[in-house]
Structure 1
């Protein structure tokens, strides 16, 4: 059996960008269907940083109090421990925002907030456990390049066909429908990968948020456990016993106190994220627009991926909503979104590429700080600049 749905906009991917765009369009009275391939949002090792600019957007939507009622931790400054010496990387306390902190919240809680709010609108559909893998088109030329009119896939009750004035691809850096639309990202693998794993947390135990000096460790306190991100040179992890021994030795050099805990980690506990820095030359095909990681895969450096994706969604909704009321968006409408968002993506990826070396460099004990860190240590006012870049992004977006 095939389920047929007609809607104003179909969004593929129920992540931060997809759900934020859905909510913004719904508030203007449009009908939106979101297709999410998973049954729920409960997945580990996803971005959990909600930046000050995103919290301002939540305040504009009337959601800030509900957001803050959910489990979270606030960080007014990003601190780094370099071989035991503490310094500030970014200071948010002087930002022109309602909340001058970066907030850590499990992504499933954040997504539940957006989905629950969207569900209050009658035009919203959230199709869970629905994998979208194809596109429908108008009759086009001999190569079949007609305007995209919807998507096809499969769900719990069989095949699904969704027809829409606009398809938004927010399904991530490995998008199937992006490839089906003939859109191919350019770029290269980054110089680093990230190993994610959990460590058991004992009562009153704590670690610095970032530890560095012979590679880097990021520690997120989840209450009952620590979520660890360990940055390593790209391509050096295969999951072998030797790799595991090297990982434990490297972590022990960076954080001697963590050595005993990491000794219990097995290769099966470690999840590898292969970092890619890439972007589409063209974010759109006739009838479809890519946003977030589908348009530009980011490094986890700075935790800015969610912020950029949400800003894409805000810009796209603001530009396209008036058009969607009357007709399917044309290529020139979709091009306006890309033009608006390309510059912040490029400048952010440039900065991330420059940061890769210091993040993964192996340094002997007592080695001097890398030049960028020395500048932040010796000129503390620069931490307000980095705080603005991380906390607001290169081009903040507003709803109105």
Structure 2
């Protein structure tokens, strides 16, 4: 005997329970709309994923009403950015100098962020979160996406909705199902991530970038008392690094941060505690089609530089929710037209901000790959100029960190 797959109905079906999808869901259910979120993983257990929150992201979390809860559950406030070249400081900036209500980046473990957003959404009647669900196809009616099919650990199902939102990340399957082509641009490096205890005397309120020719590493304070390290390797170079043994990893990091040698060698004794991030950017010409829209990394994959991915994901969700609030209250055929118009407005509104961040990141990516003596000297000179000029910091760092919130006194 065959059984019919259960059907759920919603105003919006969100595929992916990451920062973009959950921020969108929270905003919509607060306004009285029905949202079903399909999340493939069974738990919000994500390491080395989107923990760095820019000041604009922090401001938005406050607007969403979850910042106080996140403070209670644990986060770190970052007060400064330091860049060193060949062991010598070339730039130091204090975030306190910027004139915004939220001026400090914060480090928030992504499981904590996702749990907090989902719990806030669950306080409203219209929210449904289904875990362990893999989307298997789109449901279409005369070229309009009207829902998705999905399969969980027990049985298949489907969700019918006025709008499907693909928030399923940098390797988005829904984007492919929807026939929305993407241009993927591999960059010249990958990043090996690892985590170890923060040593005594190591300032927990600083972002550190250490450079030595064409090698570099990011050192990011991590709640509660750790440090995340991301260091570059040539694209596809993991096999060669592993072939040289774990000692090669130790030497790479010690060359840039000798003060970490003790905890590094005590903590990282094998490759199990490391992960590799494939660095690429993705540009999508069309973020939507009738009945479906892409958000977050599915629409615009960025690099790890300056921690922009999770912030743009949150802003995407918040922006799209505001544009959908009125269209989702309309009825009949007018509702369909208004929703699709809102999707076009969403891309138009967000595209410029994403481009600014991508261009800045790509300039930094190119700078980090410089290895020649003259090029490295020029890079150091540029960082020193930036560090000594408040106006340049406003122009360069301000464009990266402060695109959303109003400037105080402006």
Query: TM over 0.5, yes or no?
Result: yes
Q: State the shift of 1:66 in Å.
A: 2.0
CA contact (8 A) 1:35 1:130 kept: yes
Which residue does 2:207 correspond to in 1? 209
1:72-221 matches, within 5 Å, as 72-88=75-91, 90-138=93-141, 140=142, 146-201=143-198, 209-214=207-212, 215-219=215-219, 220-221=221-222
Q: Which deviates further from its counterpart, 211-220 or 348-357?
A: 211-220
Which residue does 2:259 correspond to in 1? 257
Distance 1:287 1:41 in 2: 28
Which residue does 2:315 correspond to in 1? 311
Q: State the shift of 1:91 in Å.
A: 4.0
Q: TM-score, normalised by structure 2?
A: 0.87
- Higher helix content, 1 or 2: 2
Which residue does 1:287 correspond to in 2? 291
Which residue does 1:240 correspond to in 2? 242
Cα distance change of structure 1 residues 89 and 183 upon mapping to structure 2, 3 Å threshold: farther
Distance 2:160 2:217 in 1: 45
CA contact (8 A) 2:196 2:226 kept: yes
Distance 2:263 2:369 in 1: 22
Is 2:353 the counterpart of 1:344? yes
Distance 1:390 1:350 in 2: 10
- Pairwise CA RMSD of aligned residues? 2.4
Residue 41 of structure 1 aligns to a residue whose secondary structure is coil
How many residues are aligned here?
A: 388
CA contact (8 A) 1:280 1:295 kept: yes
Q: State the shift of 1:14 in Å.
A: 0.7
Residue 259 of structure 2 aligns to a residue whose secondary structure is helix
Per-residue CA deviation, residues 291-318 of structure 1 (Å, 9 max, x unaligned), is 1100011000010111111111122111
Q: TM-score, normalised by structure 1?
A: 0.89
Is 2:33 the counterpart of 1:30? yes
Is 2:25 the counterpart of 1:16? no
Q: Which deviates further from its counterpart, 66-75 or 245-254?
A: 245-254
Q: State the shift of 1:79 in Å.
A: 1.9
CA contact (8 A) 1:7 1:32 kept: yes
CA contact (8 A) 1:319 1:333 kept: yes
Per-residue CA deviation, residues 20-40 of structure 1 (Å, 9 max, x unaligned), is 000111111100011111111
User: In the alignment, which of 264, 274, 278 is matched to residue 274 of structure 1?
Assistant: 278
Cα distance change of structure 1 residues 235 and 268 upon mapping to structure 2, 3 Å threshold: same
Is 2:398 the counterpart of 1:388? yes
Q: State the shift of 1:105 in Å.
A: 1.1
CA contact (8 A) 1:13 1:171 kept: yes
Which residue does 1:143 correspond to in 2? none
Q: State the shift of 1:88 in Å.
A: 4.1
Q: State the shift of 1:77 in Å.
A: 2.1
Residue 93 of structure 1 aligns to a residue whose secondary structure is helix
Unaligned regions of 5+ residues in structure 1, if any? Answer: 141-145
Residue 163 of structure 1 aligns to a residue whose secondary structure is strand
User: In the alignment, which of 377, 393, 397 is matched to residue 387 of structure 2?
Assistant: 377
Distance 1:199 1:58 in 2: 28
